[in-house]
Chains A and B, each alone.
Chain A
Amino acid sequence: MAFKIIVSQCTQCGACEFECPSDAISFKGEGYVVDSKKCTECKGEFDTQQCASVCPMPKTCVPA
C-alpha cells in the first residue's frame, strides 16, 4: 500500500516531502515521487495521510 502523486496536477510546492514521516517523498526529474517501498500511508503514526492532508491540489496525492 502506498500513495502516489499525479504529476500533471502537482504544483511542486514540496509540502508533502516536508510532512512525510517516512521520508518516502523526494523530487526526481520533473516532479515529486512517492517511494512505494517506504510509504506506510502513515499507519500507526497519524490518523490521516500527511501528504494528502497538506496537498493544495484536490485529488493529486491519492492512493496508488
Chain B
Amino acid sequence: MSEPEIKVGTSSSASFHRAPMAPAMPGGRASSSYGLSVTDDIDARIWERIKDHPCFSEQAHHYFARMHVAVAPACNIQCNYCNRKYDCTNESRPGVASVKLTPDQAVRKVLAVASKVPELSVVGVAGPGDACYDWRKTVATFEGVAREIPDIRLCISTNGLALPDHVDELADMNVDHVTITINMVDPEVGAKIYPWILHGHRRYTGIEGARILHERQMLGLEMLTKRGILTKINSVMIPGVNDTHLVEVNRWIRDRGAFMHNVVPLISKPSHGTYYGLTGQRCPEPFELKALQDCLDGNVKLMRHCQQCRADAIGLLGDDREREFALDQISTRVKFDTRKREAYRKLVQHERGDQLAAKLDANKAVRSLGSSGTLAVAVATKGGGRINEHFGQARELQVYAVSRKGINLVGHRKVEQYCLGGLGEKATLDHTIVALDGIDILLSSKIGDCPKKRLAETGVRASDAFSYSYIETAIGALYAAEFGGKPAMPTALGPSN
C-alpha cells in the first residue's frame, strides 16, 4: 500500500500524479462476471483512491473512520432544512456541532483522535457552515493536519456557491474528495429550498438567488472534474418539492462527471426550528427514498450507506465517538503514535482480501442458482463485513436484497437499542418490528429467545447461527437453502431447541 504523499502548497512538485478522471463505469456492468464486486465497475486507479474513504466506498466504511472538524461555522446560504442554532447532543444530523473549533484546536483534536482510533483515514471539513465560504479556517486546518499526518486524506463538503473560487487551491492541497450538496437544477425548484444566498457581498433572494447558486454549482463541478478530483453529490430529498426533480439533477451531474450521487432523506422536526420543521414539511418514507434510488440506479454510482452524520462526527459511520473526544479533555501536547495506525492498515489489507474473496464467491453462487426468488435480509454488524453485533445492542441494521442479480446492500434502518442495562424493553421491540417491515431474515451475532419468538410471529426469521461470519457468505448460504435446495449451515434457522 503505497499512499501518495500529501504535501501542502507544492502544487507542481508534489509527488502525487492525479490520474485523469476515468468514466465511472468503464465498459459498463455487462463486462463483469459479478454483479457487484467492489472493483468490477470502478477503474483500478479510482479504487486506489476511494478504498480508504468510508463515504466514497461502501466497502471502506466497514474498516475506516472519518472525522469532521467543525471549524467552518459561517455560511453564505440559508437552506430551509437547516438551522444551526439548536444542538442537542443526542441529535445526529448535518449542520449540527457541539463546539466550534479554531484551526489550532482542530489539529490538536485530529492528532488525539488519530492516536486512539487507528481506523481514522479521512479528515473533513463539513461545516457546520460552508467549508468553501469560511475558507481561511478550512485552509489553516488542512495545512496543519497534512503537516502532522501526511498519509491522511482530506475532504470537504460544500454548498458549491463559493466553490469555483477555490478549486485550484483544493487541487494544490491534494484535497481529493469533494462533496457538493445539489438539490436542484431548476431555479424555480431552488427558490422553494433556498430563501436567500449571499454572493459578491450582496444578498439575492428567490429565483435570482437560486439561479446564481445553480450556475456556480455546475461550474464548480465541471472545474473539479477537469482536475480529476472525485466528487460526491448530496441531494436532500424533500417530498413535494424536489423528489421527482432529483432524476433531472442526477442526469445533470452525471453529464458533468460526478463520481457518486447520495440522496439523503430530509430530516425535519419542529424541535429543530428549521423553516421546514415549522411549516410541517414531511420527510420521505424509507420506501419512497428507495424507489427514487432504484430509478437512479445505473447512471452514476449511488451511495446507499450514508448515515447523515453531524458536522463534528468522529469514528466509523454509524458509530459516532464524538463525545469521547471533548476538547477540554485533550491535552495541549498530544503525543502522536503512528505504530497503531500502521499495524491496523496491515491487518485491514489482509482481512479485506479475505472478505472480498468471500463476497465474490457468495455472489457467484447466488447468481449461478438462477432462481427468481428474492430475500430481504437485515444484518446487525459493527463493521469489518461480519455479522458481529448482538441484536439487543444494535442501533441500526443493514439491509441486503438478494436476487439472481446477487447480494446487494440496499440501505440501513435505524432501530432503538433493545437491551438497556440487560433488560429487553417490550415497547422498543414493537418499534423494531415496525422498522423491520418487509424483512424476511434477521442476522445478528446473538439474539434472545423472547425477541426471536416475537419476530417470528411477525414473519421475520431471526438467527444467530452465522455469528461472526462474513455477511455475504451467510446470506449466500441462506439463499441457497431457500431457493437452491442446499442446506444452509447447520441449525441455521431452526428454533433454538
Contact with B along A24-64 (1 / 0, CB 8 A): 00000000000000000000001110100110110000000
Whether B202 lies near A13 (C-beta < 8 A) is no
Q: With A and B bound together, what is the CA distance between A47 and B115 in angstroms?
A: 50
Q: Which residues of B110-159 have CB atoms within 8 Å of chain A's CB atoms?
A: 128-129, 133-134
Q: Are A13 and B201 in contact (CB under 8 A)?
A: no
Contact with B along A5-21 (1 / 0, CB 8 A): 00000011111011100
In the complex, the answer to whether B203 meets A13 with C-beta atoms within 8 Å is no
24 intermolecular pairs with C-beta atoms under 8 Å apart: A11-B83, A11-B84, A12-B73, A13-B73, A13-B74, A13-B75, A13-B129, A14-B129, A14-B134, A15-B74, A15-B75, A15-B76, A15-B129, A18-B74, A18-B134, A46-B202, A47-B202, A53-B198, A53-B201, A53-B202, A53-B203, A56-B78, A56-B84, A57-B85
In B66-100, which residues have CB < 8 Å from any A CB? 73-76, 78, 83-85, 100
Give residues of chain B (202-231) contacting chain A, Cβ–Cβ below 8 Å. 202-203
The docked-state distance in angstroms from the alpha carbon of A15 to that of B161 is 15
Taking CB as reference atom, which chain B residue is nearest A46? B201
Contact A13 B84, CB 8 Å, known A18-B74, A48-B203, A56-B75: yes
State the Cβ distance, A10 to closest chain B Cβ, in Å: 8
CA distance A12 to B100 in the complex (A): 9
What secondary structure prevails in chain B residues at the interface with A? loop
Q: Top 5 nearest A-B pairs by Cβ distance? A: A15-B74, A11-B85, A53-B203, A18-B74, A13-B73
Cα–Cα, bound, A14→B74 (Å):
5
Interface-centre pick from A15, A47, A53 (highest chain B CB count, 10 A): A15
Least CB separation from A56: chain B residue: B78
Distance in angstroms from B81 CB to nearest chain A CB is 13
Measured CB to CB, the closest approach of chain B to A38, in angstroms, equals 18
The reply to whether B76 and A54 contact each other, CB–CB distance below 8 Å, is yes
Give the A-B contact count at a CB cut-off of 8 A.
Answer: 49
In Å, the complex CA distance between A11 and B198 comes to 17
Contacts A11-B85, A14-B129 aside, 10 further interface pairs with beta carbons under 8 A come to A11-B83, A11-B84, A13-B73, A13-B128, A15-B133, A46-B201, A48-B202, A50-B201, A54-B76, A54-B198
Q: Which A residues are CB-close (under 8 A) to B201? A: 19, 46, 50, 53
Cα distance A13–B76 in the bound complex, in angstroms: 10
In the assembled complex, the CB of A56 is this many whole angstroms from the nearest CB of chain B, namely: 5
Docked CA distance A12–B364 (Å): 54
Chain B residues near A50 (CB-CB < 8 A): 201
Determine the distance from Cα of A30 to Cα of B76 in the docked complex, in whole angstroms: 23
Give chain A nearest CB distance to B279 CB in angstroms: 15
* Closest partner residue, chain A, to B85 (CB atom): A11
Contact A54 B129 (CB under 8 A): no
Q: Give Cα A54 to B84, complex, Å.
A: 14
Query: B127 to chain A: closest CB distance in Å?
Result: 10
CB pair A54–B203 under 8 Å, yes or no, is yes
Q: Which residue of B lies closest to A10 (CB)?
A: B85
**Which residues of B lie under 8 Å from residue A11 when comparing CB positions?**
83-85
Hey, which chain B residues are within 8 Å of A19, CB to CB?
198, 201
Bound Cα distance A44, B198 (Å) = 19
Those of B311-354 within 8 Å (CB) of chain A: none
Chain A residue at minimum C-beta to C-beta distance from B134: A18
A54 contacts which chain B residues (CB < 8 A)? 74, 76, 198, 203
Question: Chain B residues with Cβ under 8 A from A47's Cβ?
Answer: 202
Q: Which residues from chain A contact B78 at a C-beta distance below 8 Å?
A: 56
A11 to B75, CA, bound (A): 11
A52 and B76 CA atoms in complex are apart in Å by 12
User: How distant is A62 from chain B, measured CB to nearest CB, in Å?
Assistant: 15
What residues on B are CB-neighbors of A46 within 8 Å?
Answer: 201-202
- Interfacial residues of chain B within 387-415, with CB under 8 A of chain A in the complex: none
Contacts of B100 in A (CB 8 A): 12, 14
A12 to B97, CA, bound (A): 12
- Tell me how far the C-beta of A14 lies from the nearest C-beta in chain B, rounded to whole angstroms: 5
Chain B, residue nearest A9 (CB): B85
Q: Chain B residue with minimal CB distance to A52?
A: B203
